[in-house]
Structure 1
Amino acid sequence: MWWILLFLEWLVDWARGTYWYLFGRRSGLCKGTISPLGPLVVDQNKKDRLLRKVPKNLDVIVIGSGIGGLTAAALLAKLGKIVLVLEQDKQAGGLCKTFTEKGFEFDYGFHYLGQLHENSFLKVTLDQITDGQVHFAEQSSHVDTVVIGTGTQHKEYTIYNGKKQMEAHLKKQFPNDTKAVEELFKIMKICSKKIHLLCMLKLFPLWFARFILRSGIADLISPIFRYSCTSTTDVIKSLTSNQDLLTV
């Protein structure tokens, strides 16, 4: 019975998609919006003057200027809506807020981000949202150091970027847990390659999504659905009892 429902759902989606492709009005998001990189503005007074410009005849008001609020506001604006973002803090941006010290701009908490190579999904998405105005500086191979303990008893573990380099370096630092490290990276690979299935599930009607999840069909399709309901800590604890590796 369930496969009939799956087929009918696919058939409806195919028909809707075909109709939109042939006769639908193109969204503003279909247009290329990448602009030449503009000047970096670190003067807070200039930023404040821009933020005080409240437009008239608003279509949408977004409460909160975190990553989610700003993303929604930017996309709605690209669709032609007049959008106002409200923030109770003195500075907009949420996790992406910055502060300036001696002429240099620093991030509050958003320090580094992976998968930003050219034509990657995340890079294309960020360019679409920001008109290509957000650029990231590439880090060196040694990106972080984890320090456990204090004084002469402390231990240091280094983190390297790149999937293969990171895995190899963790194995070198935890020679008794090489199998745990390998299994962890296998799980990470599954999650990164199948994350789109979680996004696709949100496109289905709620009743259908609940049926897929509660019937166990989702777990037969991919383990990503099971992993999405499990914390990172629980996954690593199932692989090793090494507290240092768990911390790193």
Structure 2
Amino acid sequence: MMKETLCFRKEKVPENLDAIVIGSGIGGMTAAATLAKLGKRVLVLEQHDQAGGCCHTFTEKGFEFDVGLHYIGQLHENSLFKLVMDQITEGQVQFVELDKHIDTIVIGSGEKSRKYTIYSGKTEMEEHLKEQFPDDTKAVEEFFKIMKMSARNTHLLAALKLIPQWMALFLLKSGIANLYSSIFRLVGTNATAVADSLTSNKDLHIIFYYLFYGVPPKESSCVINALLLHHYKRGAYYPKGGASEIPFHITKVIQKFGGRVLVRAPTAMHENPRKSAVSQTSLSGINT
């Protein structure tokens, strides 16, 4: 169910703040909860009337709807992601695993429509696709190799951010990085190009990249798209009670250490600082 939230008012701003987070999307809430668990007093400001970004919900005619969250992967026991979720919510959010059949994709309409189903599972996802595309089993195998390689080597991309820029550019432009892992080459290759190289079956192209993050496959990295599908190989999960349970329990962690999450909050980022209630009241005298 939707949870009651506190609207911004001067008297609701805690004193002696250590940090202010502008925006209560899952990234901002995670940062705030992490700081709170380190003993910091954090204020989260949100312009909307609910906290949580794409995790918030709304009601219409007695029904509750999620605005963004569909299902989440990588929440199997002892997974890193489950550990993170348990930390920022102190283990208060319960996740229910969905059936193996997690998605149905319908291409076309009417009598010419084609229906395909997506299964989760370490081996079931790949095998089920092969059953539906018996003439393209090699393409499916190659795509799943890309998925596996991407999942195992993503940390190498992050490592480039930890070394001097000149060194990272040298490793990439000289081709040395490609000798170490093909992820450096594939991350700059768009998803459409990779799909075209694997098969001419347009329906299978859609299956490979039906999960996307707002950027069309011809403009997005094949690694990102592959990781999106790989995310559900170990199952798909939904938060018990709805998506709003996530920001609700993160808010409790922030409040536990003296912080607060305030909605309907005007911020200096979007208004004239001289007119902004935040800049005139809550930001005055705060050490950030």
Q: Report the TM-score, using the length of structure 2 for normalisation.
A: 0.64
Match of 1:74 in 2: 33
How far residue 204 of structure 1 moved from its aligned partner, in angstroms, is 2.4
| Residue in structure 2 matching 1:206, options 162, 165, 171 | 165
Q: Report the TM-score, using the length of structure 1 for normalisation.
A: 0.74
Equivalences for residues 32-111 of structure 1 within 5 A? 42-44=1-3, 47-49=4-6, 53-100=12-59, 105-111=64-70
How far residue 189 of structure 1 moved from its aligned partner, in angstroms, is 0.5
Match of 1:33 in 2: none
Unpaired stretches in structure 2, ≥5 consecutive residues: 208-288
- Matched residue count: 205
In 2, Cα distance between equivalents of 1:241 and 1:71: 42
SS in 1 for 2:192: helix
In 2, Cα distance between equivalents of 1:206 and 1:128: 33
Quote the sequence identity (%): 63
Match of 1:131 in 2: 90
How far residue 99 of structure 1 moved from its aligned partner, in angstroms, is 2.9
Match of 2:267 in 1: none
How far residue 149 of structure 1 moved from its aligned partner, in angstroms, is 1.1
Aligned in 2, Cα 1:215/1:59: closer, same or farther, shift over 3 Å? farther
SS in 1 for 2:152: helix
Q: Deviations over 1:167-216 (max 9, x none)?
A: 11111111111111000001100111112222233222333333332332
* Bigger helix fraction: 1
Cα RMSD after superposing both structures: 2.3
Say if 2:2 and 2:58, in contact at 8 Å, map to a contact too.
no
| Residue in structure 1 matching 2:73, options 114, 122, 140 | 114
Aligned in 2, Cα 1:196/1:159: closer, same or farther, shift over 3 Å? same
Aligned in 2, Cα 1:101/1:137: closer, same or farther, shift over 3 Å? farther
In 2, Cα distance between equivalents of 1:77 and 1:170: 44
Equivalences for residues 169-184 of structure 1 within 5 A? 169-184=128-143
In 2, Cα distance between equivalents of 1:198 and 1:134: 31
Match of 1:146 in 2: 105
Unpaired stretches in structure 1, ≥5 consecutive residues: 1-41
